[in-house]
Amino acid sequence: MKNTIKMIGFAVIIAAIVFSMAGCVVEEPEDEGPYPLNGTITISPSTDVITGTELTATYSGYEDVSYQWKKGDANVGTNVNKYTPTEAGSYTVTVSAEGYLPKTSAAVNVTAPLPTLEGTWVTEVNEYFTMEMKLNNGSFEVTVISLTNDARMPDHRGTYTTNNGKITLTKTHVYGGGLSGGLAFNLQMTMYLTGAVSLDLETWYTKVEIKTIVDAATPGNALHPELTAEEAYAAVIETLDSLFQESTSGYTLSGNTLTLTSEDEDGEITTQIYTRLETFSSIASLNTWLSAQPSNTAATAYAVWLNVANFGGASNASGTVGKTLIDNRRYVSLNLSGSTFTQIANNAFEQCEYLTGVTIGNGVTSIGESAFSYCINLTGVTIGNKVASIGDNAFENCDSLTSITIPNSVKDIGISAFENCDALTSVTLPDNEDFEIIYGRTFYGCGGLASITIPDSVKSIGNSAFYGCASLTSVTIPSSVTGIDPLAFSGCINLTSVKFEGSVSSWSANSSNAFYGDLRDKFATAGTGGPGTYTTDSPVGANSVWTKKP
């Protein structure tokens, strides 16, 4: 009995304890945050974004958030949901709210905009042709321009318009110029240009095919390789082949220089370099444009095409082209091919230190005295094929001029025309029967001139014509030369070989010093002198002894 009572007592106690514990609710510790944000954060636009595009951040949750934009790890912008990046890079935005964990968007890549390629670009293909390429939004225009008056090589002009498509232009050209009946052929250019609308030029290629070639004297007959006419158009074929190749291409743009790098299916890489042209129809418009351009260097000269009828005058006269270049102090390469004036005035560009290159069109017949003298940064000159005379001192002291080709149309080159052009290494003189005199001091002080070919039309070489041409090592005096004046080749300290192809019948007074040493006397010695090649040791000086080679 007692045991039963004890058992009941224990049960009551246990039940009381259980009941007591059941009445006690055990509370978990309160979560004090921070809590995750409820929504998502995105940026739009998120693809193909360029600098200058406004970015908008959108948060989809209900929390009151603030915004922090970042470029990489750096904070940018202010506490707003919009930001306009001015630099290329990777951008994110982070939203945060009190008591919540911040949340960051996916990164948006911002790039610099594609450089504008709109405009006219020009490249020199070879000695026969240059090519212009005009780009506008959605169009592509090509002009291949002949640099020679050879009738067998006319201009090839065509306009190609595409919107990521393909166009084909077929033209017929007839070549004359000494060929029997001329040479005709059909030229088919098929242009492929992808990305033309955006002008990114990331992939582009062109093809040129010579479809049919016929001898115009016997229309319909195919041109055979053995015909001499093939040689006449060989330069054209070579030009077109080098211009247009099937390839994939990339480009770089630096200032006004566009470089297209192509790799064909054989892995051969070629590079074409174009210069952007700016075209003006008045000197005033050129002046306005130049004054608005940033300062540049000779290496980044602005390529300018000037098409005017009235050139103006000397470079010290207001309103002239020369004065415009001097006053604006911007380096310019000037193309005058489209201008209609016929003369380059005396002193036209004198002391234009900002002129780096000039192309003189085929309408110009004369280049005046001191026209380009002291253009110390002038590196290239192209002279049109109608120029008949180059005035005294025309290119004197053009310190940077390295080479020049004087067309066969030129009959007269004035005194000191190229005096002290000390960087000049190569000169091609005109080859025509009217070019008879190399006047005094024409190449005086041209220390870099390493070779010169004197045409067989020349009859007289003037006083100090080649004085001080220290790099000249040999020269041939053609049989047409009958007179050599004093000091003509004096100061040519490395001239160790002189070939006389004929008898110089007239030596001016004191012309014994036309060459250093005793060359004149050796040449004039009866029986042992006369035509032949004479040599001496370097350095050549007043006491040099010359020997006639057997």
Q: Does residue 167 sit in helix, strand or coil?
A: strand
Name the amino acid, one letter, at 7.
Answer: M
Would you write out the chain's pLDDT as a tens digit for each of its 550 residues?
444 444 444 444 444 444 444 444 444 445 567 899 999 999 999 987 888 889 999 999 999 999 999 999 999 987 899 999 989 899 999 999 999 999 999 999 997 765 555 567 776 655 545 556 655 443 445 554 444 333 333 444 444 333 333 333 333 333 333 333 333 333 333 333 333 323 333 333 333 333 333 333 333 333 333 334 444 344 444 444 444 343 344 556 676 777 766 665 677 776 767 777 788 999 999 999 999 988 989 988 888 889 899 878 899 999 999 999 999 999 999 988 878 899 999 999 999 999 999 989 888 999 999 999 999 999 999 898 899 999 999 999 999 999 998 999 999 999 999 999 999 999 999 999 999 999 999 999 999 999 999 999 999 999 999 999 999 999 999 999 999 999 999 999 999 999 999 989 877 655 568 999 999 989 988 889 999 999 999 899 999 999 999 9
- State how far the Cα of 152 lies from the Cα of 160, in Å rounded to an integer: 24
Cβ atoms of 433 and 455 within 8 Å: the answer is no
Reference 57, options 48, 49, 66; nearest CA is: 66
420: left (phi over 0), alpha (psi -120 to 50) or beta: left
Distance of CA 239 to the CA centre of its chain: 18
Calculate ∠ Cα 308-310-313, nearest 5°: 125
Q: What is the pLDDT of residue 335?
A: 86
Cβ atoms of 374 and 355 within 8 Å: the answer is no
- State how far the Cα of 14 lies from the Cα of 101, in Å rounded to an integer: 48
The total number of residues shown for the chain amounts to 550
Q: What crossing angle do the helices spanning 283-292 and 321-328 adopt, rounded to 10°? A: 10
Which residue reads 């047409």 in tokens?
Answer: 480
**What would the pLDDT profile of 77-121 be if each residue is shown by its tens digit?**
878 999 999 898 999 999 999 999 999 999 999 977 655 555 677
The two structure tokens encoding residue 272: 């074409």
Q: What is the pLDDT of residue 418?
A: 98
pTM (two decimals):
0.62
Reference 175, options 241, 236, 243, 239; nearest CA is: 236
Calculate ∠ Cα 18-20-23, nearest 5°: 110
Name the amino acid, one letter, at 490.
Answer: S
**What would the pLDDT profile of 277-330 be if each residue is shown by its tens digit?**
788 999 999 999 999 988 989 988 888 889 899 878 899 999 999 999 999 999
Q: How far are the Cα atoms of 59, 230, 397 from residue 234, in angstroms, in the given order? A: 68, 6, 39
Calculate ∠ Cα 484-428-376, nearest 5°: 95
Burial of residue 183 (CB within 10 Å: 0-12, 13-18, 19+) is buried
- State how far the Cα of 508 lies from the Cα of 465, in Å rounded to an integer: 14
- Which residues are CB-contacts of 350 (< 8 A; sequence separation ≥ 6)? 314, 315, 316, 322, 370, 371, 372, 373, 374, 375
Q: What is the pLDDT of residue 101?
A: 94
Name the amino acid, one letter, at 338.
Answer: G
- State how far the Cα of 277 lies from the Cα of 120, in Å rounded to an integer: 5
- State how far the Cα of 366 lies from the Cα of 380, in Å rounded to an integer: 18
Cβ atoms of 321 and 284 within 8 Å: the answer is no
520 phi and psi angles, rounded to 5 deg: -60, -45
Q: What is the pLDDT of residue 300?
A: 83
Calculate ∠ Cα 87-92-95, nearest 5°: 135
- Which residues are CB-contacts of 377 (< 8 A; sequence separation ≥ 6)? 298, 331, 353, 354, 355, 356, 400
- Give the full edge-to-edge strand order of the sheet including 532-535: 474-477, 497-500, 532-535, 547-548
Radius of gyration over every alpha carbon of the chain, rounded to an integer in angstroms: 40
All domains of the chain in start order, with CATH: 37-111 (2.60.40.10), 119-271 (no CATH)
